Structure 1
Amino acid sequence: MFSRLLLVLGLSCLAFAAQAERLKDIASIQGVRSNQLIGYGLVVGLNGTGDQTTQTPFTLQTFNNMLAQFGIKVPAGSGNVQLKNVAAVSVHADLPPFAKPGQTIDVTISSIGNSKSLRGGSLLMTQLKGIDGQTYAIAQGNLVVGGFDAEGRDGSKITVNVPSAGRIPSGATVERTVPSGFDQGNSLTLNLNRPDFTTAKHIVDRINDMLGPGVAQAIDGGSVRVSAPLDPNQRVDYMSVLENLEVQSGEAVAKVIINSRTGTIVIGQNVRVSPAAVTHGSLTVTITEDTQVSQPAPFSNGQTAVTPRSTVNAQQEAKPMFKFGPGTTLDEIVRAVNQVGAAPSDLMAILEALKQAGALQAELIVI
C-alpha cells in the first residue's frame, strides 16, 4: 500500500503551488533531535598560560589523579606545584540524531580556571556524558583557538577575540547510540517549529488530500500525527517524500519589535493601524553664558567688576501632522514616517503612543 502512496506523493509535489514552504522547513519529527554532551578534562602543552594552581586547586587534583592512573605518585608536600602549561577545561558537544559508534563530532573547549589562553594546547582523552550519566563520546585532539593576547613588560596588553575557548573539529568519537524512536510504532508526530493552528490545518489537509482521510490528524496547534509504514526502509522513503511536500504556512502574528539599545525597529507585514492622527516635534533650548567687564568712569569712585550675561534661545521644529486611515498597511506606515523625517528614537515614541491609544493593531515587543 505505502509503495503506491510514495508514487502518488512524488507526483503531487510537482503540481503544488511554488510559493509554499517545504514541510521539512516548518516542522521536525518528534524524537529525531540532537542531545547535549558535557565533560571535564585537561588541556596540556600551553606556553605558560595555564592555570595558577594556588587559585585553582582542582587543576592540580585532576592532574594528580591522572598520574595515579599511570602508576605515578606525586611526592607529599608538593601542594604548591605550579602547572603553568596545564589548564582545567569543560568540554561540550551536540550529538546529532542517528549518530553511530565510530563517527566523529565537533567539540568546544572552554577554560574553567584562570588560564589566560588555550592557544597551542591539546586536550587529553575526555569522556563526554549525557544527562543520564552514560558516556556517549570520547574527545581528544589539538585545539583551534581563534583569539590571542599579548602583554608587554610595562603592563600594556592587547586581546583579540576570546583566547580562553577553542574548538576541535571532529574531535570526539561516538561510542554509544541514542535511541530515537523513529522506527517504533505505526505513526510519526510532526512538531511545528512555529506553532500555528492555520499551518497545522494546512498540513493535515495537504496530506489527507493525497493519502486519504484520517492519515494525518492534528493533535494541537503545534503537532500533527501521521500514519507511517512499519518497515524501516519504507518509512525512510515515505518521510523523504513527505518532508518535501509544499505546504502553505499560516500568516504570522502581527508584531512590532523594538530594540531600544541599538535603535532597531522591525514591523511585521500584518501590522495595521486604526484611524489616528499623529504629530511629533522637539523643542530645543540653548543657554549661552558670557561674561562682561564693567569699567567705571575716570576719576569716579566706582570699581571694575565682572558681570555675567546669559542668552536663552528656544527653537521648536515644525513637523506636520500625519493621519493614518482605516486599515493602514506597513507600506503606508513607513511612507508616512519617512515624510516627516522621524529618527528611530522618534519612531519608537510614535509606535508606543499608538499602542497606548489602542490604534496599533499589533503586539509591541521591546527587547
Structure 2
Amino acid sequence: MKLLKVLILSLLLSPVVHAERLKDIADIQGVRDNQLIGYGLVVGLPGTGEKTRYTEQTFMTMLKNFGINLPSGVRPKIKNIAVVAVHADMPPFIKPGQTIDVTVSSLGEAKSLRGGSLLQTFLKGVDGKVYAIAQGSLVVSGFSADGMDGSKVVNNTPTVGRIPNGAIVEREVPSPFGTGDYLTFNLHDADFTTAKRTAEAINNLLGPGIARALDASSIQVTAPRDVSQRVAYLSTLENIQVEQADEAAKVIVNSRTGTIVVGKDVRLLPAAITHGGLTVTIAESPQVSQPNALANGNTAVTQNSNINVSQADRRMFMFNPGTTLDELVRAVNMVGAAPSDVLAILEALKVAGALHGQLIVI
C-alpha cells in the first residue's frame, strides 16, 4: 500500500448544519448516575473457586454471622467459593424497591465464576451508606478448560459475570432537581458558540431572559418551583432543536495503529513538501585475523563494515493558500508515504506553521 494502513477522513463533504435536540447534547446539572460497590462471596462453583487466606476469613465471618463457630484449627475446604467485587450504577430518580443490574468480578485466584451464585452483598455509595442489596445467580459468558498436560483454553472472561436486576434499591439518592429557581444544562462538548445558540433557542421559545449562558459549558434556565410543572417544563426544553457549532480544526493521529482522522476544516498555508526516500544500510561482517606462523602475534577478530546509502527518486509538492484536505491526501498518496512518514510530515507542517488546525497524537 502506498499510504496508510488505515486512513479515515471525516467530513470530507461540504459543511452540513445539523440541529440536535437539547437532550442529546446536554445533561441537567445534578441529575446523574451514582456508583455503588460491595464485597461478597460467590458460592456453588464446580471446583473453580479458590482457597486463600482472605477467602477463608470472609467465609468464617459469614458463618459467625449465622451463629456457626468451627473448632479451632479447622480449615474448611472451599474450592467452590470465590471472593468478588460487586459494582453497579444507580440511575437518577430510582426509588426503593426497584432493581438495577450488577457486575460481579473475581478478586482472587478463582478460575471461573460460571455456575455460581452471589450471596447477599451490601452495595455502598461514596458516603459509606448502603443504597442497594445484591444477590442472585450469575450469567457468565466466558469459560475455561484445563488439560492434564497443562494446556488451557480460555474463551472471553470467565471471572466476570452479570446479574440482571440483581440488586434491590433500599435508599433513594437525594436530587437537586426539585429545588431552587433555576436549572442548569451542561453541554457534553463545551463550546461558546453552542452555549450561546442554546440560550437563544430557549429564549426564542419561552421569552427573553429565561436562559443565559454562564460559560462554554453551562446554560442557566429559570424554572418553576412546583415539581409537576417543572417536569412538563423540562419535557418541552429537552426537545428544543439546537444547531451545534462546528468543531475546531483537528488532526487526530493514533501513533500505535496508524489511524489518522482529519477534520473538514483543516487547511494548509503555502508550503512545499518533499518525502526523501533516503536509505542507510550498515552491515557488519566479522573477520578473523590470523598472524603468520613465524610472526610473534595473537589471533584477533576484526570488524569489516559495509555502509550503503541509497536515495529514491521522490518529488516535491507545492501547496497553494487554502489547500483542502482532499488535495493534501491525494498529494501524500502520490508521495507514497508510510503511516510513520505521514505523521512526520504533519508534525513538520505544524512546526512550520503551515497546518491550520490542531495536531493531536494519541
Residue type at the aligned position of 2:25: I
Q: Partner of 1:72 in structure 2?
A: 68
Structure 2 residue 116 is the aligned partner of structure 1 residue 117: no
Structure 2 residue 248 is the aligned partner of structure 1 residue 259: no
Shift of 1:340: 2.4
Shift of 1:343: 2.6
Q: Partner of 2:20 in structure 1?
A: 21
What SS does structure 2 have at the residue aligned with 1:364? strand
Q: How does 1:271-350 map to 2 (within 5 A)?
A: 271-284=266-279, 315-350=310-345
What SS does structure 2 have at the residue aligned with 1:200? helix
CA distance in 2, matches of 1:289, 1:193: 58
Quote the sequence identity (%).
64
Q: How does 1:347-358 map to 2 (within 5 A)?
A: 347-358=342-353
After TM superposition, the structure 1 stretch with the greater mean CA deviation from structure 2, 204-213 or 130-139, is 204-213
Cα pair 2:18 2:244 within 8 Å, conserved: no
CA distance in 2, matches of 1:135, 1:90: 15
Name stretches of at least 5 consecutive residues in structure 2 with no aligned partner: 1-15, 286-303
Q: Partner of 1:130 in structure 2?
A: 125
Shift of 1:314: 5.1
What SS does structure 1 have at the residue aligned with 2:342? helix
CA distance in 1, matches of 2:191, 2:18: 18
Q: How does 1:1-367 map to 2 (within 5 A)?
A: 19-53=18-52, 57-78=53-74, 80-284=75-279, 315-367=310-362
What SS does structure 2 have at the residue aligned with 1:238? helix
CA distance in 2, matches of 1:239, 1:330: 41
Number of equivalences:
331
Shift in alpha-carbon separation, 1:31–1:288, aligned structure 2, 3 A: closer
CA distance in 2, matches of 1:176, 1:100: 7
CA distance in 1, matches of 2:142, 2:310: 51
Cα pair 1:105 1:170 within 8 Å, conserved: yes
Q: What do residues 181-224 of structure 1 show as CA deviations (whole Å, max 9, x unaligned)?
A: 11112210000111111111001111112222210011111101
Residue type at the aligned position of 2:212: Q
Residue type at the aligned position of 2:247: A
CA distance in 2, matches of 1:326, 1:260: 28
Q: Which has the higher contact order (CA 8 A, sep 6+)?
A: 2
What SS does structure 2 have at the residue aligned with 1:77? coil
Name stretches of at least 5 consecutive residues in structure 1 with no aligned partner: 1-16, 291-308
CA distance in 2, matches of 1:355, 1:285: 27
Residue type at the aligned position of 1:330: L
Q: What do residues 203-257 of structure 1 show as CA deviations (whole Å, max 9, x unaligned)?
A: 1111112222210011111101001122222211211121111111112122211
Shift of 1:268: 1.6
Shift in alpha-carbon separation, 1:203–1:155, aligned structure 2, 3 A: same
- TM-score, with length taken from structure 1: 0.85
Residue type at the aligned position of 1:30: Q
CA distance in 2, matches of 1:310, 1:209: 78
- TM-score, with length taken from structure 2: 0.86
Q: CA RMSD in A?
A: 2.3
